Chains A and B, each alone.
Chain A
Amino acid sequence: MLMDELDQILLKRAVPEVPHDLSGRIIRQARAHQLSPRPFRSLFLEIMDFIVLPRPAYAMAFSLCVAMIVGFEAAGGLAFAQQDWSSFLMIDEGEWL
């Protein structure tokens, strides 16, 4: 693939030198993070690390829709459940007792 004039210009793009203390700062910050452990918080974070949602916003929206659908479906059966409960409270035992 031949390079055109644009590619040659792109290659000339300047990038500053890496700050000499960048890696040192990162290492020190990680060590400071290590020296101040919060066991309960870190346990919580460890557990949450296993719950990885690839697209959290979509997952939450989908869950909300499912919950609403289930809620509407359950509402349809609620009256029936209440009726059953009422009938349970008012069991006619006839001559049994």
Chain B
Amino acid sequence: MGSSPPAEDSDESLIRRVQGGDHQAFSTLVVRHSGMFFGAAYRMLGDKGDAEDTVQEAFMKLWSQPYAFDAARGAKFTTWFYRVVTNMSIDRARKRRPSAPTEVLETKADQGNLQDAALHDKRVQAALEAAIQALPEKQKAALTLCFYEGLSNKEAAAILEVNIKALESLLMRAKAGVRQALAQEGLLEGKGYAYG
């Protein structure tokens, strides 16, 4: 009883066809995955335009250098592509100039007709985004891959080319950094309780 061959429309089958120059297979991969990787890139970069450019660049790299993915090793295409997108996002973030700090809306007693809940949510969103973008790139990537993209610690560690202990340390520091930033804004009470 051996392993069954990959389905014809599986990512690995499609990438083999891309390696043969099949543009239709490439288009299928793009349509299937561009949205998911856009979300990941956005979470790492915090800018819609940068995220679009990163995803576009990553797919063009796939098209121009399809043999960069070695299907024979048994690796999943998505895991490999996460690494490409993550590395490109980290490089892009390091090259660009520091952006202006995200504005945090200050609640005022005389907001009048503004709903407090909506205003509070907006303030939380702005503070959260600023806190995450202020994290070091690897911590941000670890948080994105594990918390938002739902990857296992093993997969995320492979993508970031660190061991699992180092990944857990990155995650812990990322959350601590965000927690501290939100607590300074008065948006988080206490430190929460440890889990694990």
Report whether B124 and A9 are in contact in the complex, using a CB–CB cutoff of 8 Å. yes
Stretch of B1-9, B62-70, B97-105, B106-114 that contacts chain A: B62-70
Interface residues on B, range: 35 or more
Stretch of B51-59, B72-80, B83-91, B162-170 that contacts chain A: B51-59
A43 at interface, CB cutoff 8 A: no
Q: Give the chain B neighbours of A45 by CB distance below 8 A.
A: 64-65
Report whether B178 and A23 are in contact in the complex, using a CB–CB cutoff of 8 Å. no
Q: Give the chain A neighbours of B55 by CB distance below 8 A.
A: 22, 26
Interface of A is mostly: helix
Report whether A26 and B34 are in contact in the complex, using a CB–CB cutoff of 8 Å. yes
Report whether B64 and A10 are in contact in the complex, using a CB–CB cutoff of 8 Å. no
Per the CB 8 Å criterion, the residue count for chain A at the interface is 30
Question: Would A22 and B129 be within 8 Å (CB), given that A6-B178, A12-B124, A30-B63 are in contact?
Answer: no
Stretch of B134-142, B152-160, B187-195 that contacts chain A: B187-195
Quick one: which of A1-53 are within 8 Å of B by CB?
A: 1-2, 4-7, 9-10, 12-16, 18-19, 22-23, 25-27, 29-31, 33-34, 45-46, 49-50, 52
Task: Supply 8 A–B pairs (Cβ within 8 Å), ascending by A.
Answer: A6-B188, A6-B192, A13-B125, A23-B27, A26-B59, A30-B26, A31-B23, A34-B23
